[in-house]
Amino acid sequence: MTANPTALPSDHPSVKSGKVGVLLINLGTPDGTDYTSMRRYLREFLTDRRVIEWSRWKWYPILFGIVLNTRPQKVGKAYETIWNKDKNESYLRTYTRNQSDLMAERLHDLPNVRVDWAMRYGQPSIGDRIQALKDEGCERIVLFPLYPQYAAATTATVNDKAFEKLAKMRWQPAIRTVPQYHDDDTYIEALANSVNRHLSTLDWKPEKILASFHGIPMSYFKLGDPYYCFCQKTGRLLREKLGLSEEQFMVTFQSRFGPEEWLQPYTDKTVEELAKNGTKRIAVLNPGFVSDCLETLEEIAEQAAESFHHNGGEKFTHIPCLNDSEDGMKVLEKVVRRELLGWV
């Protein structure tokens, strides 16, 4: 009797199918504030060609000779000031996990949908979670980079990493990537609500509100990155929603790195100049960050506040990100349900 060449091995696993995955993806986080964890995280982040577009022969000697030997200690100390001590993790990890859990609850009417989360840098990795969703029977996956404003250094590198994993898979799931939602009505309303709610808790009124977005090098913008335009539109729509004049509200850019020119006006310089020129009360929010993280909790709530007070300012407040709030989850749910149309 001849063997059937098409017969499956007796130990062949049953294949799960029929489900749709939603993968929420944020920037990333170190596993700890120690030197080794910080260096590992920074190395992955700063070797990303989407983040640093310099030629490798120019950048790597600086990165491996200077940056990765000095910056881990400095950044580690900054993370220590905003570390979630209860869970021994960064708040970015805490909030992203919470957003995933809450999203799963909010999609309870879609029993075939599975929700998970990942980080572009660090753990859990995008590749691992795509594989986990596929193993769970997700034949289709919505990739949701958690960035309201598209930029090559954020949204595009998330998609790159996902497709890097797909390139190694024999049986790929179908993929949808979520586009920017910088001008979505629900998003703008959520931001406005967060501003009004926070300011209502103060016994003073800011003279000026800054919407501080993460910056990118000016050269990236000149090469065609649309990020600056998306930030400006978010800022304009939010200002109009709040009923503020251009004198009362402005868009700025933070977190520049290296010697080249970045998008302006710079947040740190603006805060300093406002204080020196007699502005006594300001509020700052970060519309481009879905979750509070080092760049909001340490760079703005701590460093910018200190600079403002040092240069003559009197009242400074940082308005928290939407995080896992009800309004924040409404925004994410709206985007997810829109992208699931036709799949569920």
The answer to whether the beta carbons of residues 215 and 150 sit under 8 Å apart is: no
CATH T-level topology, domain 19-180+327-340? Rossmann fold (3.40.50)
Whole-number CA gyration radius for the chain: 22
Q: How confident is the model over 199-210, as pLDDT tens digits?
A: 999 999 999 999
- The architecture of the domain spanning 185-319 is 3-Layer(aba) Sandwich (3.40)
Three-state secondary-structure class, residue 209? strand
For 38-107, give the secondary structure using H, E and C.
HHHHHHHHHCCCCCCCCCHHHHHHHHHHHHHHHHHHHHHHHHHHCCECCCCECHHHHHHHHHHHHHHHHC
pLDDT at 9: 57
- Measured N-to-C along each axis, helices 126-135 and 157-166 cross at an angle, to the nearest 10 degrees, of 50
Residue 2 pLDDT more than 70? no
The answer to whether the beta carbons of residues 114 and 122 sit under 8 Å apart is: no
Q: How confident is the model over 50-109, as pLDDT tens digits?
A: 999 999 999 999 999 999 999 999 999 999 999 999 999 999 999 999 999 999 999 999
pLDDT at 78: 95
Q: Where are the domains of the chain?
A: 19-180+327-340, 185-319
pLDDT at 8: 54
Binding region? 214, 295
Q: Which residues pair with 144 in a beta bridge?
A: 24
Binding region for Fe(2+)? 214, 295
Sheet with 113-121, side-by-side order of all strands? 113-121, 19-28, 138-145, 174-177
